[in-house]
C-alpha cells in the first residue's frame, strides 16, 4: 500500500505502472470484499502488535491481500530493524 502511495506521489512517475497497481488493488479489494480502509486498519493493528516485539520500519512496510482461485492470502513485507529484549507490557 505504501508503495502505491510512493508511486503516486513521485517516486515512480510511470503512469502505466501506477495504473496497473491501482487496478490490481481494486481487483483484490473487489474479490475479497475488503475496503481500503479495512486494509489500512489491519495494517495499523499489525504495526501495534509487532512493535511490541521488534523495531520495524513502518515507512517501508507493505501489507496486501492476494487472491487465488479459491483463497485469499494476507502478504506482509515488514522490514525489521532489531528485536526488542523484552516485550513492552508483556508478562
- The closest alpha carbon to 76, from 90, 56, 91, belongs to 56
pLDDT digits (tens, 9 = 90+) for 9-64: 555 557 777 777 777 666 666 666 777 788 888 888 999 999 999 999 988 888 88
pLDDT at 59: 87
* Burial class, 54, CB count within 10 angstroms (exposed 0-12 / middle 13-18 / buried 19+): middle
CA of residue 83 relative to chain centroid, distance = 20
Global pTM value: 0.54
Amino acid at each position: 500500500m505504501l508503495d502505491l502511495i510512493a508511486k503516486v506521489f513521485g517516486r515512480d512517475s510511470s503512469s502505466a505502472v501506477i495504473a496497473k497497481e491501482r487496478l490490481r488493488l481494486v481487483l483484490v479489494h473487489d474479490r475479497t470484499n475488503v475496503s481500503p480502509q479495512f486494509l489500512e486498519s489491519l495494517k495499523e493493528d499489525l504495526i501495534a502488535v509487532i512493535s511490541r516485539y521488534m523495531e520495524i520500519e513502518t515507512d517501508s512496510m507493505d501489507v496486501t491481500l492476494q487472491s487465488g482461485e479459491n483463497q485469499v492470502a494476507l502478504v506482509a513485507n515488514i522490514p525489521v530493524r532489531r528485536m526488542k529484549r523484552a516485550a513492552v507490557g508483556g508478562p
